[in-house]
Structure 1
């Protein structure tokens, strides 16, 4: 079977979203494809309206090896996972004869912590002197948020804060989440086998495209404890 050309793939992706091909987008996609194939570095400056997401997603998906896309914001992460990637994957499927898988990976504090939810904060911390659910009056906004979080913990499949609608206050979320430094570790935690953050990391190991953010990329690079799965290509949007 003849391998589809990059122009064919880009045309399919652009057509699927009702757009029109732009010279800058084509040039960008060709440059990204060349850098991926040569395993070289590439810096792209693309103006507004270039269609840069498709400009890097199409050659990245065509490459066939795992790609990590790091975005500047959580909002852009969601845009890629909920809109851009689903459309692009479906449009390329007939040409690639495969349907690349993708997943979003965030920092640990973005996921509900079952240990914190059920056991509370450590007793040597000021807030740990009493159970957070008892401390917050059920009629208060904090109390209502915490009760809703407890109910949501039995329903959610991801534990991702952004999947909770409507959301809760930062104060309420802080009661049931932990940073990477606060985490006991999956092997030491009684809830390690059910941990939402660990499940997200495991899913990331099985997909073709991992969408993360700059903060997690920095942690992976400097802390000496890899949090991202092994990958062949890294795309930073925006650098």
Structure 2
């Protein structure tokens, strides 16, 4: 059956009425998929655009035995697609296709509970309820960053998360109801750039983010967001399943979301936190060197007018070079784990790998600045 015929069958099964704009959009999407070309569609309110692209997407996926990625900007639209549109569409099209249309949702890693981070936090609190690291990981030290009135507030949310962590089957933040503030959730989650990797993590086999990723393999449609789409495009790892078709809904938000994901901040506070974390792992004095360079960099930056740099002030270049070298030397030192640490101290080893990844990210951000403004030969 053609996509137009499948659309008609779906609309009838769902009790809807034929919409000329919806039919035209479905035909245009189907033609673009067939011709393997780009297509931009601006559809007005009431067109029924979700169904207009989902029907040809499902048909294409089953005809080519492939996966179609549907990317959105908002959580609300993701939920609409996964909780309402796709289940109803799958039921209506099952009798007409080779198999019932399958689908899954993929979110950023930070949306899932990190079991390794929970284990580190609970072990830390068991050793010393008032302890924690300078980077704000869960534990007593994180609460030391807020005043006493907020201490119990954050503690209550963390207690709820720990209780939920023992019960959840998905680790998906959206399944924790009522929800918790971002400050609390950050203590038990990691982003793609912070994750030490399933092969290195003590909880790699049961990782919630990896389980969601495996669930998304070999389905017809994977619903994701623009940020994760950007991560998949920018990183050297495959975050999303193999695909040759991407449908971007809410495309007007794509530019901002990709820009946000491609942006890295280099601040003195973050550099100092990295150095202090490294000091606890045995940094051979290179942590103190990084703190000194960060302090110097801050002083130089204060002499530069705020705003976008279209050229790199020469007064800043030596400090950036020193900062790049300091970050790299510290990363190399932290990355060399003592023999046997992975087996004897898995939490410490995981923290070492996490920090090494974070230092690499900071180093690469400085390196990109220097490469964007190459030095002129004297």
TM-score by length of 1: 0.90
Q: CA RMSD for the aligned pairs?
A: 2.4
Cα contact 1:120–1:131 (8 A) shared by 2: no
Deviation at 1:232, TM superposition (A): 2.7
Distance 1:126 1:236 in 2: 36
Larger Rg computed on CA atoms: 2
Match runs of 1:191-230 below 5 Å: 191-230=203-242
Deviation at 1:174? 1.0
**Mapped contact 2:67–2:221 kept (Cα < 8 A):** yes
Contact 1:133-1:146 at 8 Å conserved across structures: no
Structure 1 gaps, min length 5:
none
**In structure 1, what is the equivalent of residue 134 of structure 2?**
125
Structure 2 distance, partners of 1:149, 1:175, is 10
CA displacement, residues 65-111 of structure 1 (integer Å, 9 cap, x when unaligned):
31000001122111111110000111111111410211100111010
1:122-180 CA distance string (max 9 Å, x none): 9653434945799799x933222212211211222211111111111111111111111
Shift in Å, 1:116? 0.9
Q: Highest relative contact order (Cα 8 Å, sep 6+), 1 or 2?
A: 1
Residue matched to 2:74: 73
State the aligned residue count: 236
1:35 is aligned to 32
The residue that corresponds to 2:342 in the other structure is none
3-state SS, counterpart of residue 119 of structure 1? helix
The equivalent residue for 1:98 is 99
Q: Aligned partners of 1:162 and 1:15: how far apart in 2?
A: 33
Give the unaligned 5+ runs of structure 2. 125-131, 252-378
